[in-house]
Amino acid sequence: MDESQEIFIDSRLLQGAPLIPSEISEDEKRDAAITAKQETEMSKAHKETEQKTEMTTLAAQGKMAMRQAVLSGRAEEVLGTAVQFTEKTKEGIEVLQKVLGITKNCLNINPDAEGLSDLTTSQLELFWKFIQAPEFQNLTASLLAKILS
């Protein structure tokens, strides 16, 4: 055991005796060391009990928060939002699949085509109107900002 953990109390100091080194018997040292060791073990046990209590308290708080979320309807709202997000994601994936299919067909029809030269006037007008839409401009700006950040 470390010497810093061994605590010896000379009873003469408690009675006001002068501070002079005293001779302590081996039995007194052993008894004092055992007492210090027991106090350290009790301290560890107390810390473990506090940790268990804290974990129990956190679990109880989590259960209470879940209960309130279910009773208030917030949990159902979150699930509803998740369902909507999932549906929009599915729709987006389906649109991307269609775009890829159309792109593949265009490339199969004329693999040597050079992009804009093959666009019809109606396609260019549609693309121009699409670019002028505020929604498209906002989407493009946010995507560009994400790319640049």
- Per residue in 13-32, pLDDT (tens digit) is 566 555 555 566 666 666 65
- Indicate the DSSP class of residue 133: S
Residue 141 vs residue 50, higher pLDDT: 141
Residue 15 is predicted with a pLDDT of 61
- Given 55, 71, 87, the domain boundary residue is 71
Residue 106: pLDDT band with limits 50, 70, 90: confident
Same domain, 60 and 78: no
Rounded (to 5) percent helix, strand, coil in the chain? 80, 0, 20
User: For the whole model, what pTM was predicted?
Assistant: 0.40
Backbone φ and ψ for 9, nearest 5 degrees, come out as -120, 120
Whole-number mean pLDDT of the chain? 77
- 1 exposure class (CB count in 10 Å sphere: 0-12, 13-18, 19+): exposed
Expressed as residue numbers, the domain containing 96 is 73-115
Q: What integer is the mean pLDDT of 53-64?
A: 82
**In terms of domains, do 136 and 108 share one?**
no
Do 15 and 26 belong together in one domain? yes
Q: Are residues 25 and 56 in the same domain?
A: yes
Q: How far apart are CA 102 and CA 99, in angstroms?
A: 5
In total, how many domains does the chain have? 3
CA angle 37, 30, 34 (to 5 degrees): 20
98 — pLDDT class (breaks 50, 70, 90): very high
Same domain, 61 and 79: no
What value does the mean pLDDT take over residues 66-87? 92
* Res 6 pLDDT > 60: no
